[in-house]
Amino acid sequence: GQSLEQPSEVTAVEGAIVQINCTYQTSGFYGLSWYQQHDGGAPTFLSYNALDGLEETGRFSSFLSRSDSYGYLLLQELQMKDSASYFCAVRDLGSGYSTLTFGKGTMLLVSP
Amino acid sequence: DAGVIQSPRHEVTEMGQEVTLRCKPISGHNSLFWYRQTMMRGLELLIYFNNNVPIDDSGMPEDRFSAKMPNASFSTLKIQPSEPRDSAVYFCASSLRDRKDNEQFFGPGTRLTVL
């Protein structure tokens, strides 16, 4: 089975940098994804790491260490609109088909 | 593209009634997923289809839940009979099976309340 751990809540101020950590235990691992969900909205894709290292997309970066079963999402130059829940998700390829198992999510609160 | 379309957006029903949720995936996508989201359990995968064929329904909580995908552009999730503990937001998502980044595109969700 899969289990993921991420903090339930993180707070920060506008303009700051915040890091959301994710550790996982899996029976099969092919990659780590990050999704953003605003209150009342749908999850939307942010990033995906299949290999160790850092992936950068604008203000957001995502890191993976497969040997440590650990990843993080880094958000820079925080804006009020970044207040949302952030989910890490492990990609599994059981039976040859790709599925995601999501963590419980981290609520990010950005204050002025 | 209009994205993933779900209906209804909100559903309020009484315990024991049948509920049918509908989903239209993004055209050309060959994988479809049904999720349930609650505060307690988070986002759970219920069932997924590939090329309209159910691949894994091990996440379906009980026999009261069933899902179908009669063609590439339509899927339903049915709960019969519904119970108050089924109250949740149900999301449908679609993707391209071989997409490198494995991105899933989520619909707006159906917020179900069972009284």
* Chain A residues touching B31 at Cβ < 8 A: 97-98
DSSP lists the bridge partners of residue B22 as: B7, B76
Percentage of chain B beyond pLDDT 90 is 89
Residues of A in contact with B43 (CB under 8 A): 43, 87, 102, 105
pLDDT tens for residues A96-109?
Answer: 778 899 999 999 99
- What's the pLDDT score for residue A7? 97
Residue A90, classed as helix, strand or coil, is: strand
- pLDDT at position A29 is 86
Query: Which of A57, A98, A104 should one mutate to test binding to chain B, selecting the residue with the greatest count of B CBs within 10 A?
Result: A98
pLDDT at A76: 97
Q: Is the pLDDT of residue A10 over 90?
A: yes
Query: Taking the CA of residue B91 as centre, how many other CA atoms within 13 Å lie in the half-sphere pointing to its CB?
Result: 22
The predicted-structure confidence for A39-72, as pLDDT tens digits, reads as follows 999 999 999 999 999 999 899 999 999 999 999 9
In the predicted model, is pLDDT for residue B110 greater than 70?
yes
Q: Name residue A111's amino acid.
A: S
Q: Which residue of A has its CA nearest to B50?
A: A97
Question: Does the beta-carbon distance from A43 to B91 stay under 8 Å?
Answer: yes
B-chain residue closest to A30, CA distance? B102
pLDDT digit string (tens) for B47-72?
999 999 999 998 998 899 999 999 99
pLDDT confidence band for B1 (50 / 70 / 90): low
Please judge whether B97 and A97 are an interchain contact, meaning their C-beta atoms are less than 8 angstroms apart.
Answer: yes
Q: Give residues with Cβ within 8 angstroms of B75, minimum separation 6.
A: B22, B23, B24, B25, B32, B34, B49, B67, B68, B69, B92
Here the tokens at position A10 are 């993180």
List all residues 6 or more positions away from B22 whose beta carbon is below 8 Å from its beta carbon: B6, B7, B8, B74, B75, B76
- Is residue B74 less than 8 Å (CB to CB) from chain A? no
